[in-house]
Amino acid sequence: MSTFKAPRGTYDLIPPDSATYLAVRDAIAAPLKRSGYGYVETPGFENVELFARGVGESTDIVTKEMYTLTTKGGDQLALRPEGTASVLRAALEANLHKAGNLPVKLWYSGSYYRYERPQKGRYRHFSQVGAEAIGAEDPALDAELIILAHDAYRSLGLRNFRILLNSLGDATCRPAYRAALQDFLRGLELDDDTRRRIDINPLRVLDDKREAVQKQLVGAPMLGDHLCEACKEYHEQVRELLTAEGVAFEDDPKLVRGLDYYTRTTFEFVHDGLGSQSAVGGGGRYDGLSEMIGGPALPSVGWALGVDRTVLALEAEGVELDLPSATSVFAVPLGEEARRVLFGAVTGLRRAGVATDFAYGGKGVKAAMKAANRSGARLAVIAGERDLAEGVVQLKDLESGEQTAVPLDGLVEAVSARLG
Protein backbone atom coordinates (compact mmCIF):
# COMPACT_ATOMS: atom_id res chain seq x y z
CA MET A 1 0.00 0.00 0.00
CA SER A 2 1.27 3.48 -0.88
CA THR A 3 2.16 6.05 1.76
CA PHE A 4 0.01 8.52 -0.17
CA LYS A 5 -3.73 8.66 -0.81
CA ALA A 6 -5.82 10.63 -3.29
CA PRO A 7 -6.58 14.12 -1.92
CA ARG A 8 -9.80 14.44 0.07
CA GLY A 9 -12.83 14.88 -2.12
CA THR A 10 -11.21 13.31 -5.20
CA TYR A 11 -11.32 9.82 -6.67
CA ASP A 12 -9.29 7.51 -8.88
CA LEU A 13 -10.88 5.85 -11.88
CA ILE A 14 -9.60 2.29 -12.14
CA PRO A 15 -10.82 -0.86 -13.90
CA PRO A 16 -13.41 -2.24 -14.00
CA ASP A 17 -15.34 0.91 -12.93
CA SER A 18 -13.45 3.14 -15.35
CA ALA A 19 -15.02 1.25 -18.28
CA THR A 20 -18.44 2.54 -17.20
CA TYR A 21 -17.18 6.13 -17.09
CA LEU A 22 -15.70 5.78 -20.59
CA ALA A 23 -18.97 4.34 -21.89
CA VAL A 24 -20.92 7.25 -20.39
CA ARG A 25 -18.57 9.80 -21.96
CA ASP A 26 -18.85 8.09 -25.33
CA ALA A 27 -22.66 7.94 -25.11
CA ILE A 28 -22.93 11.66 -24.30
CA ALA A 29 -20.46 12.60 -27.04
CA ALA A 30 -22.02 10.39 -29.74
CA PRO A 31 -25.07 12.58 -30.59
CA LEU A 32 -22.86 15.69 -30.51
CA LYS A 33 -20.48 14.20 -33.08
CA ARG A 34 -23.48 13.43 -35.31
CA SER A 35 -24.66 17.02 -35.05
CA GLY A 36 -21.64 18.99 -36.22
CA TYR A 37 -19.87 19.55 -32.91
CA GLY A 38 -16.06 19.41 -33.08
CA TYR A 39 -13.84 18.45 -30.15
CA VAL A 40 -11.98 21.13 -28.17
CA GLU A 41 -9.55 20.70 -25.28
CA THR A 42 -8.45 23.54 -23.01
CA PRO A 43 -5.81 23.83 -20.23
CA GLY A 44 -6.63 22.58 -16.75
CA PHE A 45 -5.92 26.06 -15.39
CA GLU A 46 -6.68 29.58 -16.63
CA ASN A 47 -6.24 33.18 -15.58
CA VAL A 48 -8.29 33.82 -12.43
CA GLU A 49 -9.88 36.86 -14.02
CA LEU A 50 -11.45 34.75 -16.78
CA PHE A 51 -13.67 33.02 -14.21
CA ALA A 52 -14.16 36.10 -12.05
CA ARG A 53 -15.58 37.98 -15.03
CA GLY A 54 -17.33 35.11 -16.74
CA VAL A 55 -18.73 32.96 -13.94
CA GLY A 56 -19.38 35.95 -11.68
CA GLU A 57 -17.53 37.45 -8.73
CA SER A 58 -20.57 36.99 -6.47
CA THR A 59 -20.97 33.28 -7.12
CA ASP A 60 -19.96 30.62 -4.61
CA ILE A 61 -17.77 29.10 -7.33
CA VAL A 62 -15.55 32.19 -7.48
CA THR A 63 -15.75 33.40 -3.87
CA LYS A 64 -15.50 30.06 -2.07
CA GLU A 65 -14.76 27.13 -4.37
CA MET A 66 -11.99 28.01 -6.82
CA TYR A 67 -8.54 26.52 -6.39
CA THR A 68 -6.16 29.40 -7.06
CA LEU A 69 -2.39 29.63 -7.26
CA THR A 70 0.32 32.18 -7.91
CA THR A 71 3.07 31.22 -10.36
CA LYS A 72 6.74 32.03 -9.83
CA GLY A 73 6.24 34.84 -12.32
CA GLY A 74 3.39 36.29 -10.26
CA ASP A 75 0.47 35.23 -12.48
CA GLN A 76 -2.81 34.46 -10.72
CA LEU A 77 -4.20 31.18 -12.05
CA ALA A 78 -7.15 28.97 -11.12
CA LEU A 79 -7.91 25.32 -11.74
CA ARG A 80 -10.91 25.42 -14.03
CA PRO A 81 -14.17 25.14 -12.03
CA GLU A 82 -16.32 24.87 -15.18
CA GLY A 83 -15.88 24.56 -18.94
CA THR A 84 -17.84 27.27 -20.74
CA ALA A 85 -15.58 30.26 -20.05
CA SER A 86 -12.48 28.29 -21.08
CA VAL A 87 -14.05 27.02 -24.31
CA LEU A 88 -15.30 30.48 -25.27
CA ARG A 89 -11.87 31.95 -24.50
CA ALA A 90 -10.23 29.31 -26.72
CA ALA A 91 -12.67 29.95 -29.57
CA LEU A 92 -12.09 33.70 -29.40
CA GLU A 93 -8.32 33.31 -29.21
CA ALA A 94 -8.35 31.08 -32.30
CA ASN A 95 -10.74 33.48 -34.11
CA LEU A 96 -13.12 30.62 -34.87
CA HIS A 97 -15.98 33.13 -34.94
CA LYS A 98 -14.34 34.91 -37.89
CA ALA A 99 -14.41 31.87 -40.16
CA GLY A 100 -17.87 32.86 -41.36
CA ASN A 101 -19.66 29.69 -40.34
CA LEU A 102 -21.68 30.47 -37.23
CA PRO A 103 -22.55 28.99 -34.88
CA VAL A 104 -19.21 27.47 -33.90
CA LYS A 105 -20.23 24.12 -32.39
CA LEU A 106 -17.79 22.53 -29.94
CA TRP A 107 -17.82 19.69 -27.42
CA TYR A 108 -15.32 18.83 -24.69
CA SER A 109 -14.60 16.40 -21.89
CA GLY A 110 -12.37 16.69 -18.87
CA SER A 111 -11.84 17.16 -15.15
CA TYR A 112 -12.97 20.23 -13.20
CA TYR A 113 -12.23 21.37 -9.66
CA ARG A 114 -14.22 23.05 -6.89
CA TYR A 115 -13.43 23.25 -3.19
CA GLU A 116 -16.73 21.88 -1.88
CA ARG A 117 -17.73 19.81 1.13
CA PRO A 118 -17.18 16.24 -0.07
CA GLN A 119 -20.22 13.98 -0.06
CA LYS A 120 -21.64 11.20 -2.19
CA GLY A 121 -22.05 12.58 -5.68
CA ARG A 122 -20.34 15.87 -4.88
CA TYR A 123 -16.58 15.88 -5.26
CA ARG A 124 -13.77 18.41 -5.40
CA HIS A 125 -12.60 16.84 -8.63
CA PHE A 126 -15.29 15.81 -11.09
CA SER A 127 -15.67 14.85 -14.73
CA GLN A 128 -17.95 16.48 -17.29
CA VAL A 129 -18.84 16.33 -20.95
CA GLY A 130 -19.96 19.67 -22.32
CA ALA A 131 -21.19 21.28 -25.52
CA GLU A 132 -21.23 24.91 -26.67
CA ALA A 133 -22.84 26.53 -29.72
CA ILE A 134 -21.21 29.94 -30.14
CA GLY A 135 -22.37 32.88 -32.23
CA ALA A 136 -26.06 32.39 -32.98
CA GLU A 137 -29.31 33.43 -31.30
CA ASP A 138 -31.85 30.83 -32.34
CA PRO A 139 -34.45 28.93 -30.27
CA ALA A 140 -33.77 25.88 -32.43
CA LEU A 141 -30.18 25.83 -31.18
CA ASP A 142 -31.32 25.86 -27.54
CA ALA A 143 -33.78 23.06 -28.29
CA GLU A 144 -31.15 21.09 -30.22
CA LEU A 145 -28.77 21.01 -27.27
CA ILE A 146 -31.48 19.97 -24.81
CA ILE A 147 -32.62 17.21 -27.19
CA LEU A 148 -29.05 15.95 -27.69
CA ALA A 149 -28.53 15.65 -23.93
CA HIS A 150 -31.94 14.00 -23.54
CA ASP A 151 -31.17 11.49 -26.29
CA ALA A 152 -27.75 10.71 -24.81
CA TYR A 153 -29.32 9.84 -21.47
CA ARG A 154 -31.98 7.74 -23.17
CA SER A 155 -29.32 5.84 -25.11
CA LEU A 156 -27.70 4.90 -21.79
CA GLY A 157 -30.99 3.44 -20.58
CA LEU A 158 -31.86 6.24 -18.14
CA ARG A 159 -35.59 6.89 -17.80
CA ASN A 160 -36.18 8.59 -14.44
CA PHE A 161 -34.62 11.96 -15.15
CA ARG A 162 -36.51 15.23 -15.50
CA ILE A 163 -35.75 18.39 -17.45
CA LEU A 164 -36.43 21.68 -15.65
CA LEU A 165 -36.80 24.72 -17.92
CA ASN A 166 -36.95 28.47 -17.37
CA SER A 167 -36.17 31.80 -19.01
CA LEU A 168 -34.01 34.40 -17.27
CA GLY A 169 -34.89 37.20 -19.68
CA ASP A 170 -32.35 39.62 -21.12
CA ALA A 171 -30.93 43.09 -20.66
CA THR A 172 -34.27 44.60 -21.71
CA CYS A 173 -36.54 43.01 -19.14
CA ARG A 174 -34.29 41.77 -16.34
CA PRO A 175 -33.49 45.20 -14.75
CA ALA A 176 -37.15 45.83 -13.83
CA TYR A 177 -37.47 42.34 -12.43
CA ARG A 178 -34.22 42.71 -10.53
CA ALA A 179 -35.52 45.85 -8.82
CA ALA A 180 -38.83 44.15 -7.91
CA LEU A 181 -37.03 41.10 -6.52
CA GLN A 182 -34.63 43.26 -4.49
CA ASP A 183 -37.54 45.12 -2.91
CA PHE A 184 -39.14 41.81 -1.94
CA LEU A 185 -35.94 40.26 -0.58
CA ARG A 186 -35.05 43.25 1.58
CA GLY A 187 -38.19 42.60 3.61
CA LEU A 188 -37.07 39.06 4.57
CA GLU A 189 -35.10 37.83 7.56
CA LEU A 190 -31.83 36.79 5.93
CA ASP A 191 -28.24 36.40 7.12
CA ASP A 192 -25.60 38.96 6.21
CA ASP A 193 -24.04 36.91 3.37
CA THR A 194 -27.44 36.43 1.72
CA ARG A 195 -28.26 40.13 2.15
CA ARG A 196 -25.06 41.03 0.32
CA ARG A 197 -26.27 38.91 -2.60
CA ILE A 198 -29.42 41.03 -2.83
CA ASP A 199 -27.33 43.96 -4.08
CA ILE A 200 -24.88 41.97 -6.21
CA ASN A 201 -27.07 39.30 -7.83
CA PRO A 202 -30.52 38.86 -6.26
CA LEU A 203 -31.40 35.95 -8.56
CA ARG A 204 -28.84 33.85 -6.67
CA VAL A 205 -31.03 34.09 -3.55
CA LEU A 206 -33.74 32.17 -5.43
CA ASP A 207 -31.17 29.40 -5.91
CA ASP A 208 -30.55 29.09 -2.15
CA LYS A 209 -31.38 25.50 -1.16
CA ARG A 210 -31.79 26.15 2.57
CA GLU A 211 -35.32 25.43 3.79
CA ALA A 212 -35.37 28.53 6.02
CA VAL A 213 -34.75 30.71 2.95
CA GLN A 214 -37.09 28.83 0.62
CA LYS A 215 -40.00 29.21 3.06
CA GLN A 216 -39.62 32.98 2.92
CA LEU A 217 -39.50 33.01 -0.88
CA VAL A 218 -43.17 32.04 -1.16
CA GLY A 219 -44.83 34.89 -3.02
CA ALA A 220 -41.58 36.24 -4.46
CA PRO A 221 -41.95 37.94 -7.86
CA MET A 222 -41.20 35.52 -10.69
CA LEU A 223 -39.13 36.47 -13.70
CA GLY A 224 -41.67 34.85 -16.02
CA ASP A 225 -44.16 37.58 -15.08
CA HIS A 226 -41.67 40.29 -16.08
CA LEU A 227 -40.36 38.95 -19.42
CA CYS A 228 -40.47 41.28 -22.39
CA GLU A 229 -42.43 40.16 -25.45
CA ALA A 230 -39.27 39.14 -27.33
CA CYS A 231 -38.13 36.89 -24.48
CA LYS A 232 -41.61 35.41 -24.06
CA GLU A 233 -41.75 34.58 -27.76
CA TYR A 234 -38.24 33.13 -27.74
CA HIS A 235 -39.00 30.93 -24.75
CA GLU A 236 -42.27 29.74 -26.21
CA GLN A 237 -40.49 28.68 -29.40
CA VAL A 238 -38.01 26.61 -27.37
CA ARG A 239 -40.91 24.95 -25.54
CA GLU A 240 -42.78 24.24 -28.78
CA LEU A 241 -39.72 22.69 -30.45
CA LEU A 242 -39.10 20.39 -27.48
CA THR A 243 -42.74 19.35 -27.32
CA ALA A 244 -42.82 18.63 -31.06
CA GLU A 245 -39.89 16.22 -30.64
CA GLY A 246 -41.50 14.41 -27.73
CA VAL A 247 -39.09 15.77 -25.10
CA ALA A 248 -40.92 16.28 -21.83
CA PHE A 249 -39.94 19.16 -19.54
CA GLU A 250 -41.19 20.96 -16.45
CA ASP A 251 -41.44 24.73 -16.20
CA ASP A 252 -39.52 25.87 -13.10
CA PRO A 253 -39.84 29.64 -12.51
CA LYS A 254 -37.22 29.54 -9.72
CA LEU A 255 -34.52 27.86 -11.81
CA VAL A 256 -31.57 30.27 -12.09
CA ARG A 257 -28.53 27.94 -11.71
CA GLY A 258 -25.32 29.03 -10.03
CA LEU A 259 -23.57 31.07 -12.72
CA ASP A 260 -24.01 34.75 -13.51
CA TYR A 261 -23.63 34.55 -17.27
CA TYR A 262 -26.98 32.93 -18.13
CA THR A 263 -29.65 34.79 -20.14
CA ARG A 264 -32.97 33.63 -21.51
CA THR A 265 -33.08 29.81 -21.75
CA THR A 266 -31.80 27.95 -18.70
CA PHE A 267 -32.35 24.27 -17.95
CA GLU A 268 -31.31 21.49 -15.63
CA PHE A 269 -31.37 17.70 -15.79
CA VAL A 270 -32.29 16.21 -12.42
CA HIS A 271 -32.63 12.64 -11.18
CA ASP A 272 -34.76 12.04 -8.09
CA GLY A 273 -32.87 8.86 -7.24
CA LEU A 274 -29.87 10.92 -6.11
CA GLY A 275 -31.41 12.56 -3.04
CA SER A 276 -30.75 16.23 -2.33
CA GLN A 277 -27.89 16.38 -4.86
CA SER A 278 -30.28 15.64 -7.71
CA ALA A 279 -28.75 17.66 -10.56
CA VAL A 280 -26.88 15.57 -13.13
CA GLY A 281 -26.25 18.40 -15.58
CA GLY A 282 -27.59 21.58 -17.04
CA GLY A 283 -26.90 24.71 -18.99
CA GLY A 284 -28.45 27.59 -20.81
CA ARG A 285 -27.97 30.61 -23.02
CA TYR A 286 -25.17 33.09 -22.24
CA ASP A 287 -25.53 35.88 -24.78
CA GLY A 288 -23.34 38.41 -22.96
CA LEU A 289 -20.42 36.23 -21.84
CA SER A 290 -18.22 37.00 -24.83
CA GLU A 291 -18.30 40.73 -24.09
CA MET A 292 -17.62 40.04 -20.38
CA ILE A 293 -14.28 38.42 -21.26
CA GLY A 294 -13.28 41.01 -23.85
CA GLY A 295 -14.72 39.53 -27.04
CA PRO A 296 -17.33 40.73 -29.55
CA ALA A 297 -21.06 40.14 -29.14
CA LEU A 298 -21.55 36.41 -29.68
CA PRO A 299 -24.89 35.04 -28.45
CA SER A 300 -24.27 31.44 -27.36
CA VAL A 301 -25.79 28.45 -25.60
CA GLY A 302 -24.37 25.30 -24.02
CA TRP A 303 -24.50 22.65 -21.32
CA ALA A 304 -22.35 20.36 -19.21
CA LEU A 305 -23.35 16.91 -17.98
CA GLY A 306 -21.61 15.32 -15.01
CA VAL A 307 -20.10 11.94 -15.85
CA ASP A 308 -19.84 10.85 -12.21
CA ARG A 309 -23.38 12.10 -11.53
CA THR A 310 -24.67 10.18 -14.54
CA VAL A 311 -22.98 7.00 -13.30
CA LEU A 312 -24.76 7.44 -9.95
CA ALA A 313 -28.06 7.91 -11.79
CA LEU A 314 -27.47 4.65 -13.66
CA GLU A 315 -26.79 2.89 -10.36
CA ALA A 316 -29.94 4.40 -8.83
CA GLU A 317 -32.03 2.94 -11.65
CA GLY A 318 -30.19 -0.36 -11.61
CA VAL A 319 -29.06 0.10 -15.22
CA GLU A 320 -26.10 -2.06 -16.18
CA LEU A 321 -24.36 -1.02 -19.37
CA ASP A 322 -23.44 -3.66 -21.92
CA LEU A 323 -19.70 -3.07 -21.82
CA PRO A 324 -17.37 -4.81 -24.28
CA SER A 325 -14.76 -7.02 -22.68
CA ALA A 326 -11.29 -5.50 -22.55
CA THR A 327 -9.91 -8.84 -23.74
CA SER A 328 -11.39 -11.24 -26.31
CA VAL A 329 -8.46 -13.65 -26.64
CA PHE A 330 -5.84 -14.74 -24.09
CA ALA A 331 -2.64 -16.47 -25.22
CA VAL A 332 -1.10 -19.22 -23.04
CA PRO A 333 2.37 -20.44 -24.13
CA LEU A 334 3.77 -23.75 -22.85
CA GLY A 335 7.55 -23.37 -22.98
CA GLU A 336 10.03 -20.80 -24.24
CA GLU A 337 9.66 -21.55 -27.96
CA ALA A 338 5.88 -21.31 -27.68
CA ARG A 339 6.31 -18.05 -25.76
CA ARG A 340 8.28 -16.54 -28.65
CA VAL A 341 5.89 -17.79 -31.33
CA LEU A 342 2.68 -16.87 -29.48
CA PHE A 343 3.98 -13.39 -28.72
CA GLY A 344 4.18 -12.84 -32.48
CA ALA A 345 0.69 -14.33 -32.91
CA VAL A 346 -0.68 -11.94 -30.26
CA THR A 347 0.79 -8.97 -32.12
CA GLY A 348 -0.85 -10.21 -35.34
CA LEU A 349 -4.24 -10.54 -33.65
CA ARG A 350 -4.01 -7.06 -32.19
CA ARG A 351 -3.08 -5.58 -35.56
CA ALA A 352 -6.15 -7.30 -36.98
CA GLY A 353 -8.30 -5.48 -34.41
CA VAL A 354 -8.77 -8.33 -31.93
CA ALA A 355 -8.41 -7.42 -28.22
CA THR A 356 -5.74 -9.89 -27.09
CA ASP A 357 -3.69 -10.39 -23.93
CA PHE A 358 -0.78 -12.65 -23.04
CA ALA A 359 0.30 -14.78 -20.07
CA TYR A 360 3.23 -12.62 -18.95
CA GLY A 361 5.63 -13.48 -16.17
CA GLY A 362 6.32 -17.12 -17.05
CA LYS A 363 3.17 -18.44 -15.39
CA GLY A 364 2.53 -22.17 -15.21
CA VAL A 365 -0.39 -23.64 -17.17
CA LYS A 366 -2.81 -23.59 -14.23
CA ALA A 367 -2.03 -20.00 -13.26
CA ALA A 368 -2.10 -18.87 -16.90
CA MET A 369 -5.55 -20.42 -17.46
CA LYS A 370 -6.84 -18.76 -14.30
CA ALA A 371 -5.55 -15.45 -15.64
CA ALA A 372 -7.32 -16.15 -18.95
CA ASN A 373 -10.64 -16.73 -17.18
CA ARG A 374 -10.24 -13.64 -15.00
CA SER A 375 -9.53 -11.49 -18.07
CA GLY A 376 -13.05 -12.02 -19.40
CA ALA A 377 -11.71 -13.42 -22.67
CA ARG A 378 -13.95 -15.69 -24.74
CA LEU A 379 -11.10 -17.65 -26.29
CA ALA A 380 -7.70 -18.92 -25.21
CA VAL A 381 -4.89 -19.70 -27.64
CA ILE A 382 -2.67 -22.44 -26.20
CA ALA A 383 0.50 -23.87 -27.75
CA GLY A 384 3.27 -26.24 -26.70
CA GLU A 385 6.23 -27.87 -28.45
CA ARG A 386 4.12 -30.63 -30.05
CA ASP A 387 1.61 -28.09 -31.39
CA LEU A 388 4.34 -25.97 -32.91
CA ALA A 389 5.96 -28.99 -34.51
CA GLU A 390 2.64 -29.67 -36.26
CA GLY A 391 2.18 -25.97 -37.19
CA VAL A 392 -0.98 -25.59 -35.10
CA VAL A 393 -2.24 -23.97 -31.91
CA GLN A 394 -5.13 -24.99 -29.69
CA LEU A 395 -8.13 -22.65 -29.70
CA LYS A 396 -10.21 -23.11 -26.57
CA ASP A 397 -13.70 -21.70 -25.94
CA LEU A 398 -13.54 -20.54 -22.31
CA GLU A 399 -17.31 -20.75 -21.91
CA SER A 400 -17.99 -24.24 -23.30
CA GLY A 401 -14.51 -25.70 -22.75
CA GLU A 402 -14.45 -26.93 -26.36
CA GLN A 403 -10.91 -27.01 -27.79
CA THR A 404 -9.83 -27.44 -31.40
CA ALA A 405 -6.53 -27.31 -33.27
CA VAL A 406 -6.19 -24.56 -35.89
CA PRO A 407 -3.27 -23.79 -38.23
CA LEU A 408 -0.95 -21.16 -36.78
CA ASP A 409 -0.93 -19.25 -40.07
CA GLY A 410 -4.75 -19.25 -40.09
CA LEU A 411 -5.19 -18.08 -36.47
CA VAL A 412 -6.50 -14.60 -37.27
CA GLU A 413 -9.19 -15.98 -39.58
CA ALA A 414 -10.16 -18.72 -37.11
CA VAL A 415 -10.45 -16.27 -34.20
CA SER A 416 -12.40 -13.74 -36.27
CA ALA A 417 -14.85 -16.45 -37.30
CA ARG A 418 -15.37 -17.58 -33.71
CA LEU A 419 -15.86 -14.04 -32.41
CA GLY A 420 -18.25 -13.21 -35.23
| Residues with Cβ within 8 Å of residue 385, at least 6 apart in sequence | 334, 335, 337, 338
- Is 243 assigned to a binding site? no
Contact 238, 179 (CB under 8 A): no
233 is in an annotated binding site: no
Query: Which residue type occupies 120?
Result: K
Confirm or deny that 320 is annotated as ligand binding.
Answer: no
DSSP assigned state of 46: E
- Cβ contact 365:354 at 8 Å: no
Give Cα 393 to chain centroid, integer Å.
45
Single-letter amino acid, residue 15: P
**Annotation-wise, does 295 bind a ligand?**
no
φ, ψ for residue 85 (rounded to 5)?
Answer: -60, -40
Q: Is 114 annotated as a binding residue?
A: yes
User: Which sign does the torsion angle of CA 103, 109, 110, 114 carry?
Assistant: positive
Q: Is 394 annotated as a binding residue?
A: no
Give the separation between CA 263 and CA 297, rounded to whole angstroms: 14
Q: Which residues pair with 68 in a beta bridge?
A: 78
Annotated binding residue 25: no
CA distance 278 to 270: 5
Question: Per the annotation, does 89 bind a ligand?
Answer: no
Known binder of ligand: residue 115? Answer: no
Number of residues that this document lists for the chain: 420
**Annotated binding site for L-histidine, which residues?**
82-84, 114, 128, 132, 257, 261-262
**Annotated binding site, which residues?**
82-84, 114, 128, 132, 257, 261-262
